[in-house]
């Protein structure tokens, strides 16, 4: 999945060349995270909220999460920290295995 996110981030960076500075990427990430929060609110919302906006959609929530992950990956690519991210993930997984939290 990380490789696919990397390709997605590259595609977005190529599409939006003018927004490829760290500040713009960070504001895009915040915007996307806000959209995830809105979708989660829709899922957790009251009956009246669902009547107003319809039933929540797994596909829409997944799409918003994908856009947030892609925005994060753009920042990873911008700073060239792919290896450090991979190492950090591996270290966390090793620690969780050592604690017996995962196989």
Sign for the pseudo-dihedral over CA of 71, 76, 77, 79: positive
Q: 52-90 b/e with 16+ CB inside 10 Å = b? A: eeeebeeeebeebbebbbbbbbbebbeeeeeeeeeeeee
pLDDT at 18: 64
The tokens for 8 are 């997605």
How sure is the predictor about 13, in pLDDT bands with cuts at 50, 70 and 90?
Answer: confident
Q: How many CA atoms lie within 13 A of 6 on its CB side?
A: 12
Q: How many CA atoms lie within 13 A of 59 on its CB side?
A: 1
2-98 maps to which CATH number? Answer: 1.10.287
Query: How do the domains of the chain map onto residue ranges?
Result: 2-98
pLDDT at 85: 94
pLDDT value at 103 more than 90: yes
pLDDT value at 19 more than 60: no
pLDDT at 17: 66
pLDDT at 54: 87
pLDDT at 7: 84
- pLDDT for 27-76, tens place per residue? 999 999 999 999 999 999 877 777 888 889 999 999 999 999 999 999 99
């Amino acid at each position: 999945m990380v490789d696919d996110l990397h390709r997605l981030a590259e595609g977005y960076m190529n599409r939006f060349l003018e927004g490829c500075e760290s500040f713009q990427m960070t504001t895009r990430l915040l915007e996307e995270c806000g959209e995830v929060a809105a979708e989660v609110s829709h899922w957790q919302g009251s009956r009246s909220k669902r009547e107003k906006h319809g039933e929540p959609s797994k596909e829409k929530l997944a799409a918003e999460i994908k856009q947030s992950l892609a925005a994060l990956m753009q920042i990873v690519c911008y700073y060239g920290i792919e290896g450090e991210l991979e190492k950090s993930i591996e270290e966390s997984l090793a620690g969780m295995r050592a604690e017996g939290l995962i196989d």
